[in-house]
């Protein structure tokens, strides 16, 4: 705690005055054990993106897409439940997947920023889904042999599901990009807007290094190269222009989120918090 406080320059004054920080969710990023952090990152990416996709339920542009987006949401939330359960077990504080999903504050979430951005129009949702699914597919392939039974088990299931997500969203990127001038302009704009959030997916920090020491090794450079290849192939077929890599937005992995996450959580967590412990 002290190290973090010093970093933020708030410790000296408060300590001198004999005051302790107010209890409650800390605004300072306090990272837990690396394996717990790692599993939270994986779980939160899927929980938050799954929730975003679920917002389309009943609002899809056509019935088939309403069903498709809801089904992908279901896959992601199912994967999130399994990952958050593992995170809770690794943490050993008695928190299960529901406690982690519904009783953490925004600063305690570890999802990448791209997953929490609002859905925008169907084109934005599809472009985001393709960019993130392509990353997920390659990541799960890399984790198939992880020396962690639970994680490898999730990877083996998720890799099958995400293959369908990549194909479905990729086909839509091609259809919209190589579509009408209006659809092309919209998905190109979506791609340009979302690009600055893609860098965070490939960041590797001390948490990744620590879990690599446990044998959970992901070669981020190789993963990025394969992702580039997959994305370039689809963008070329979609007649879309790949944006240049400019400055990237990041922060989700240490709990520094956009304003959008709080609004999402206020909806996602509302029933549980209004009726704690309710069952039906």
**How many CB atoms neighbour CB 52 within 10 A?**
23
Q: Which of 234, 261, 264, 265 binds another protein (CB under 8 A)?
A: 234
Best CA proximity match to 83, nearest among 120, 131, 47: 47
Q: Which of 163, 189, 224, 250 binds another protein (CB under 8 A)?
A: 163
Q: Which of 44, 161, 200, 208 binds another protein (CB under 8 A)?
A: 161
Q: Which of 237, 249, 250, 260 binds another protein (CB under 8 A)?
A: 237
Q: CB–CB of 132/200 below 8 Å? A: no
Contact mark string toward another protein, 43..82, x via CB under 8 A? ---------------------xx-xx-xxxxxxxxxx-xx
Distance (Å, whole) CA 142 – CA 54: 27
Please report whether residue 102 would count as binding another protein according to CB under 8 A. no
Helix axis angle, 260-268 to 34-54, nearest 10°: 80
DSSP code per residue over 35-48 = HHHHHHHHHHHHHH
- HSE at residue 180, side-chain half, CA atoms within 13 A, is 3
Using the rule CB under 8 A, give the single segment among 103-111, 165-173, 206-214, 260-268 that binds another protein.
165-173
Please report whether residue 152 would count as binding another protein according to CB under 8 A. yes
Using the rule CB under 8 A, give the single segment among 13-21, 93-101, 158-166, 261-269 that binds another protein.
158-166
Q: How far is the CB of 164 from another protein (least distance, A)?
A: 5
What lies within 8 Å, CB to CB, of 17 at 6+ separation is none
Q: Which of 5, 55, 89, 171 binds another protein (CB under 8 A)?
A: 171
Residue closer to another protein by CB (options 168, 257) is: 168
Using the rule CB under 8 A, give the single segment among 10-18, 87-95, 108-116, 153-161 that binds another protein.
153-161
Please report whether residue 170 would count as binding another protein according to CB under 8 A. yes
Please report whether residue 242 would count as binding another protein according to CB under 8 A. no
Angle, CA 9 vertex, CA 8 and CA 10 arms, to 5°: 95
Contact mark string toward another protein, 105..144, x via CB under 8 A? --------------------------------x---x---
Distance (Å, whole) CA 117 – CA 23: 29
Please report whether residue 154 would count as binding another protein according to CB under 8 A. yes
Residue closer to another protein by CB (options 64, 259) is: 64
Burial of 189 (C-beta count, 10 Å sphere; 0-12/13-18/19+)? middle
Residue closer to another protein by CB (options 72, 207) is: 72
Helix axis angle, 122-143 to 149-177, nearest 10°: 150
Q: Cα separations (Å) of 46 from 82, 174, 196, 277, 279?
A: 11, 24, 20, 24, 24
Binding site residues, another protein, CB under 8 A: 64-65, 67-68, 70-79, 81-82, 137, 141, 149-150, 152-154, 156-161, 163-164, 166-168, 170-171, 174, 230, 234, 237
């Amino acid at each position: 705690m002290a190290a973090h406080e010093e970093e933020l320059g708030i410790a000296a004054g408060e300590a001198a005055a004999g005051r302790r920080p107010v209890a409650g969710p800390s605004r300072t990023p306090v990272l837990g054990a690396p394996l717990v952090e790692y599993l939270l990152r994986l779980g939160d990416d899927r929980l938050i993106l799954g929730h975003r996709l679920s917002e389309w339920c009943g609002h899809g542009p056509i019935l088939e897409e309403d069903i498709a987006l809801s089904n992908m949401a279901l896959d992601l939330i199912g994967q999130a439940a399994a990952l958050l359960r593992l995170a809770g077990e690794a943490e050993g504080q008695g928190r299960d997947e529901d406690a982690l999903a519904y009783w953490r504050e925004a600063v305690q979430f570890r999802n990448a920023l791209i997953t929490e951005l609002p859905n925008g129009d169907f084109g934005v949702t599809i472009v985001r889904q393709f960019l993130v699914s392509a990353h997920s597919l390659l990541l799960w392939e890399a984790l198939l042999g992880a020396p962690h039974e639970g994680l490898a088990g999730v990877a083996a299931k998720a890799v099958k599901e995400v293959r369908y997500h990549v194909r479905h969203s990729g086909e839509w990127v091609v259809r919209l990009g190589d579509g009408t001038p209006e659809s092309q302009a919209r998905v190109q704009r979506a791609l340009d807007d979302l690009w600055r959030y893609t860098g965070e997916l490939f960041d590797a920090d001390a948490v990744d290094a620590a879990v690599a020491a446990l044998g959970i090794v992901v070669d981020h450079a190789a993963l990025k190269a394969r992702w580039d290849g997959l994305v370039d192939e689809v963008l070329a077929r979609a007649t879309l222009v790949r944006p240049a890599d400019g400055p990237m937005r990041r922060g989700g992995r240490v709990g520094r989120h956009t304003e959008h996450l709080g609004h999402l959580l206020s909806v996602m967590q509302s029933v549980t918090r209004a009726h704690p412990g309710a069952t039906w």
